[in-house]
Chains A and B, each alone.
Chain A
C-alpha cells in the first residue's frame, strides 16, 4: 500500500507521506537481510535513476515543472511577485516556455530566504551552507522533507553505497552542517550500519580514529566508509603520506567525497594511501534531494526524477552549447520539495557539456562533466578549479589542501591568467619546471606560475571546507606517556 500511495503522490504531484517512503526503505533493508540483494528492477526504486520511457519522462517533466511553478507562485512571496510582474501564468507553462521564467540568483535567496518559503509549509530546520564564498545560504526544510530525504538517502546508502550491518561509517564533515549530518547518520543507522561523527578535527586525529580497531562483535574490525569533503580528504592524504600510514593500517572500503572539486590526482593518492575506492557525487543543500552521480566514463549524470537541470552560459544566460562550459541551473520539483521552493536556481557550479551524446550505462540521464569549479567571473572559466587542482595536486611537494589564486595576466582579463601557488619552500625551481611543462601539455591558459613560500604574500586564496577546523581536547601523541 505504501508503494502505491507513493506512486500516486508522484503521479498527481500531491504531498508525499514520509511514512510511505520510510516503509519502502525499511522493506529494502529487510529484503537485503533476507536475500542479500534486492529483487529484479531495483533501478526503478525511488532515487535509483532507472530507465523510463522518454515520452513518459517528457510528460512527467512538463507536469512537474508546471506543478512546481504553480505551487511556488501560489505560496511564496518571491515568485508571486515575479510572475505577476512578468504576467506569467504558471498553469500554462510548457517546457519550451520555461526559459521565460527568470533564473533565480543565489544572491536573491541569501538576501531574503523567507521569501522563498512556502506559506503552506511548516519550516522546521534551517540548513546553512558552509559559506566558503563569505556568506552562507540559508534554506528552510520542513519535517516531512527531511524524513522523505532520509528515506531516499537510506535507499541510496543500501543500493548505491552498498551499506550493510557489518559496516561503520565515519563522517568527517563540518559538525555545523546539520542537514548532511542528519541525513548521513539517519540513513547509515537505518541501513543497520554503525555511524561515527569525526567532524573536521586535526587530520592526525582523524587518521588515528580511522586506524583504531573497533572491537565490536558482528562488525568489520575498523571503520569501513568515510564521508568527507575534497579539501579535508586532501589534508588527510597529506598527513597520511607524511606520517607513513599505509593502506594496511586502515579497513576502509569506500571514501565518498562531496561539496568540493575532487581532482583526479587527489583521488589516486587517496586510493593509494587508504586502499579504498574514492567516489564523488554531486549534492547541494539548495537543490536537495536532487543531485548527480558519476558514471564509469567520468560523466556526472543528473537525476531527472527530483528536479529539472539546465546548463546555461554564466554571462548570456543562454543554453550552453555541446562542448561548452556553463553553470548548473536547477529546479527541484514539488512534491519532493515543499518548504523552500526554487525555480531555475543558479547554483554557480560550472560544468562542461559533452561534445557528443554519451553512450555510457547512465546515458538515459542528462550528462555533464564533473563539477569544474564555481563561477566567479571570466577567470573561473578560463582556467577552472579542476584544471588547477589536476595540475598542482599531482605534485607531492605541494602542501595539501593546495592554496592557490588566479589573477589576470599581462594581457588582461581576456588573456592567460597567472597562477599563484603556495609551496613549502623557495626556490622551487624543479617543482616549477614540472608544473610549467604539465600546464603547457594540458593546454592551460596560464601566463606564469608564481610560487609563494608565505601565504601572506599571496593574493587572497579561496577558503576551503578543510579550513573549518574543529577543536578537540585530544591531540595525537599528547597522551603518550613517553612524551611527558
Chain B
C-alpha cells in the first residue's frame, strides 16, 4: 500500500509549523525557572538513560497503563506550556491552564473510549504539539546549551539506530501504543503504516532551532529549522517513492546534522553565548579579556627626567600622571583631566 504524497507533505508542513510556533513562543513568552540550577552534562546523561530505559519499562506495562502515563505527562506539559502564555495575556493562568489541559486530555480519552479513533488521534496530536512547544522552550529558556543538545542528538542517534534497525524495541513499543490515545507520535493517519513522526524526533526537530537561536543567533536558527524540515521532507519523499516502507529512525539522519551544525556555528562564533547575553540581544559569547591596555602601557614612552621609583599613570599610549604611589599617580592623572582609569606602573 502506497502512502499519499499529500499526507507526507502535510507532515513536513506540520513540522515546519511546529518549529515556527515554538520559535514565536520563545520570542514572546518567558517561562519560569527555579532560583538556581543550570544544565550540565550529567543532566543530558540522565535524560539519555531515561529515553533508553523508558520503552523497556513500558513493555512490561499493559497498553492502557502506558496510555495513562503518557496522558498524565501530556496533561502536565500542556498546563506548564499554557500557563505563562495566559499570564502574558493577562489571564488567571493557573485555573485556565489547568482547565484547558484537563479538558484536552479528557476529550481525547473520551474520543478513544467512545470509538472515535480519528478524534483521539487529533486530540493526541494537538496535545503533543503543544507539549513539544512547551518542553523545547522550557529546556531552551532554562539554559540548555547547543552543545548539550548536540550531545543528546548524538547519543539518541546511536540509540535510535540500535532500537529501530538492530533490534525490535521501537517496533514493539509502537505496536503496543498503536491506535491508543496519547501515543507518543504526532500521527496524521492511523492504521498499520501511519504517517507520523515520533515524539523524540519531533522534540529534537523543534528543540535545536531554539537552542541554536539562543546560542548562535538568527542565522543558525533558520538553518537548523530548514535542515530539520528538509530531513523530514527527504524521508517523506523516500516513503512516497517506495524507497522506504517501514519505520525509519529519523534521528540517524537528523542527529549527525545537528552535531555538524553545532560544530560549525561554534567554530564560526567562537563559542555559545549565555542565556543572559541572548536575552540582552548581545551577539556571541562574552569576549575574553584582551589585555590591550597593558600592552599599550608597556609600550608608552616615558618622559625624559622621570626619576626612578616614580609611579606612572598610563593610558592611551602615554603618561597621564605621575606620583610616588600608584594611587597618587592615578589621582594625578584624574587632576590632569584623564576621565578613564589609567594603568599604573613603576618606573624602574
Give the shortest distance, in Å, between A24 (CB) and chain B (any CB): 6
Contact string against B for A residues 207-224, beta-carbon threshold 8 Å, 1 for contact and 0 otherwise: 111111101111001100
- A36 and B276 contact, CB distance less than 8 A: yes
Is A92's beta carbon under 8 Å from chain B? no
- A213 and B343 contact, CB distance less than 8 A: yes
**Which residues in A have their C-beta under 8 angstroms from that of B325?**
208, 212, 476-477, 479-480
Apart from A36-B276, A38-B35, A212-B330: 12 A-B pairs, beta carbons within 8 A: A34-B276, A35-B33, A208-B325, A211-B326, A212-B326, A213-B330, A222-B330, A222-B341, A245-B331, A248-B334, A481-B310, A483-B324
Give the shortest distance, in Å, between B314 (CB) and chain A (any CB): 9
Of chain B, the residue at the smallest CB distance from A48 is B35
Enumerate A206-251 residues with CB–CB distance to B below 8 Å.
Answer: 207-213, 215-218, 221-222, 245-246, 248-249, 251
Q: Which listed residue (A40, A41, A218, A479) contacts B309, Cβ 8 A?
A: A479
* Whole-angstrom CA separation of A477 from B327 in the bound complex: 11
* Whole-angstrom CA separation of A72 from B37 in the bound complex: 36
Stretch in A25-33, A110-118, A420-428 with 4+ CB within 8 Å of B: A25-33
- A36 and B326 contact, CB distance less than 8 A: no
Q: Which listed residue (A40, A477, A483) contacts B34, Cβ 8 A?
A: A40
Stretch in B89-97, B175-183, B287-295 with 4+ CB within 8 Å of A: B287-295
- A211 and B38 contact, CB distance less than 8 A: no
Q: Which listed residue (B33, B290, B327, B328) contacts A39, Cβ 8 A?
A: B33
**B interface residue numbers (CB < 8 A to A):** 32-38, 143, 274-276, 279-280, 288-291, 293-294, 297, 307-310, 313, 323-328, 330-331, 334, 340-344
Of chain B, the residue at the smallest CB distance from A38 is B35
* Whole-angstrom CA separation of A38 from B307 in the bound complex: 51
Supposing A35-B275, A218-B289, A479-B309 touch, asked if A212 and B32 sit within 8 A by C-beta, the answer is: no
- B36 and A31 contact, CB distance less than 8 A: yes
Enumerate A32-79 residues with CB–CB distance to B below 8 Å.
Answer: 33-42, 44-45
**Which residues in A have their C-beta under 8 angstroms from that of B37?**
27, 31, 39
Q: Which listed residue (A44, A45, A212) contacts B344, Cβ 8 A?
A: A212
Supposing A31-B37, A213-B343, A217-B294 touch, asked if A482 and B334 sit within 8 A by C-beta, the answer is: no
* Whole-angstrom CA separation of A211 from B331 in the bound complex: 8
Q: Which listed residue (A24, A208, A480) contacts B326, Cβ 8 A?
A: A208
Which residue among A36, A44, A245 has the maximum number of chain B CB atoms within 10 Å of its CB?
A36
Supposing A215-B344, A217-B294 touch, asked if A35 and B276 sit within 8 A by C-beta, the answer is: yes
Q: Which listed residue (A31, A33, A479) contacts B324, Cβ 8 A?
A: A479
* Whole-angstrom CA separation of A36 from B282 in the bound complex: 13
* Whole-angstrom CA separation of A31 from B38 in the bound complex: 6
**Which residues in B have their C-beta under 8 angstroms from that of A246?**
334
* Whole-angstrom CA separation of A274 from B328 in the bound complex: 15
Give the shortest distance, in Å, between B6 (CB) and chain A (any CB): 44
Interface size of A by CB at 8 A reads: 43
* Whole-angstrom CA separation of A28 from B334 in the bound complex: 38
**Which residues in B have their C-beta under 8 angstroms from that of A218?**
288-289
- B341 and A251 contact, CB distance less than 8 A: yes
**Which residues in A have their C-beta under 8 angstroms from that of B310?**
481
Give the shortest distance, in Å, between B318 (CB) and chain A (any CB): 15
Supposing A208-B328, A215-B343 touch, asked if A35 and B274 sit within 8 A by C-beta, the answer is: yes
* Whole-angstrom CA separation of A483 from B328 in the bound complex: 14
Contact string against B for A residues 180-222, beta-carbon threshold 8 Å, 1 for contact and 0 otherwise: 0000000000000000000000000001111111011110011
* Whole-angstrom CA separation of A209 from B327 in the bound complex: 6
Q: Which listed residue (B38, B275, B288, B331) contacts A249, Cβ 8 A?
A: B331
- A30 and B35 contact, CB distance less than 8 A: no
Supposing A39-B35, A249-B327 touch, asked if A213 and B289 sit within 8 A by C-beta, the answer is: no
Give the shortest distance, in Å, between B41 (CB) and chain A (any CB): 13
Supposing A215-B294, A246-B334, A251-B341 touch, asked if A40 and B326 sit within 8 A by C-beta, the answer is: no
Supposing A40-B35, A45-B36, A215-B343 touch, asked if A482 and B324 sit within 8 A by C-beta, the answer is: yes
**A interface residue numbers (CB < 8 A to B):** 24, 27-28, 30-31, 33-42, 44-45, 207-213, 215-218, 221-222, 245-246, 248-249, 251, 476-483
Supposing A213-B343, A479-B309 touch, asked if A27 and B38 sit within 8 A by C-beta, the answer is: yes
**Which residues in A have their C-beta under 8 angstroms from that of B313?**
213
* Whole-angstrom CA separation of A215 from B290 in the bound complex: 11
**Which residues in B have their C-beta under 8 angstroms from that of A249?**
327, 330-331, 334
- B294 and A34 contact, CB distance less than 8 A: no
Of chain A, the residue at the smallest CB distance from B289 is A217
**Which residues in B have their C-beta under 8 angstroms from that of A38?**
35-36
- Jot down 28 A-B pairs with beta carbons below 8 A, ordered by A: A24-B36, A31-B35, A34-B274, A34-B275, A35-B33, A35-B276, A37-B276, A38-B35, A41-B35, A42-B35, A42-B36, A44-B35, A45-B36, A207-B327, A211-B328, A212-B326, A212-B344, A213-B341, A216-B289, A218-B288, A222-B330, A249-B334, A476-B325, A479-B309, A480-B324, A481-B307, A482-B307, A483-B324
Give the shortest distance, in Å, between A473 (CB) and chain B (any CB): 14
**Which residues in B have their C-beta under 8 angstroms from that of A31?**
35-38
**Which residues in A have their C-beta under 8 angstroms from that of B36?**
24, 27-28, 31, 38-39, 42, 45
* Whole-angstrom CA separation of A175 from B89 in the bound complex: 56
* Whole-angstrom CA separation of A207 from B307 in the bound complex: 24
- A481 and B309 contact, CB distance less than 8 A: yes
Which residue among B276, B325, B326 has the maximum number of chain A CB atoms within 10 Å of its CB?
B325
**Which residues in A have their C-beta under 8 angstroms from that of B331?**
211, 245, 249
- A215 and B274 contact, CB distance less than 8 A: no
**Which residues in B have their C-beta under 8 angstroms from that of A37?**
276
**Which residues in B have their C-beta under 8 angstroms from that of A222?**
330, 341
**Which residues in B have their C-beta under 8 angstroms from that of A221?**
340-341
* Whole-angstrom CA separation of A39 from B289 in the bound complex: 28
* Whole-angstrom CA separation of A208 from B332 in the bound complex: 12
* Whole-angstrom CA separation of A251 from B327 in the bound complex: 12
* Whole-angstrom CA separation of A4 from B310 in the bound complex: 58
- B307 and A217 contact, CB distance less than 8 A: no
Closest 8 CB pairs of A and B: A217-B289, A480-B324, A36-B276, A208-B327, A211-B327, A218-B289, A221-B341, A212-B326
**Which residues in B have their C-beta under 8 angstroms from that of A207?**
327
**Which residues in B have their C-beta under 8 angstroms from that of A40?**
32-35
**Which residues in B have their C-beta under 8 angstroms from that of A245?**
331
* Whole-angstrom CA separation of A218 from B294 in the bound complex: 12
Q: Which listed residue (A44, A212, A248) contacts B327, Cβ 8 A?
A: A212
**Which residues in A have their C-beta under 8 angstroms from that of B340?**
221
**Which residues in A have their C-beta under 8 angstroms from that of B297?**
215
Of chain A, the residue at the smallest CB distance from B291 is A217
* Whole-angstrom CA separation of A270 from B130 in the bound complex: 56
Give the shortest distance, in Å, between A275 (CB) and chain B (any CB): 12
- B293 and A215 contact, CB distance less than 8 A: yes
* Whole-angstrom CA separation of A40 from B309 in the bound complex: 53
Of chain B, the residue at the smallest CB distance from A41 is B35
**Which residues in A have their C-beta under 8 angstroms from that of B33?**
35, 39-40
Give the shortest distance, in Å, between A348 (CB) and chain B (any CB): 36
* Whole-angstrom CA separation of A39 from B307 in the bound complex: 55
**Which residues in B have their C-beta under 8 angstroms from that of A478?**
324
Q: Which listed residue (B279, B290, B330) contacts A217, Cβ 8 A?
A: B290
Which residue among A37, A212, A245 has the maximum number of chain B CB atoms within 10 Å of its CB?
A212
* Whole-angstrom CA separation of A481 from B322 in the bound complex: 12
**Which residues in A have their C-beta under 8 angstroms from that of B328?**
208, 211, 476
* Whole-angstrom CA separation of A307 from B165 in the bound complex: 62
* Whole-angstrom CA separation of A44 from B36 in the bound complex: 11
Give the shortest distance, in Å, between B298 (CB) and chain A (any CB): 11
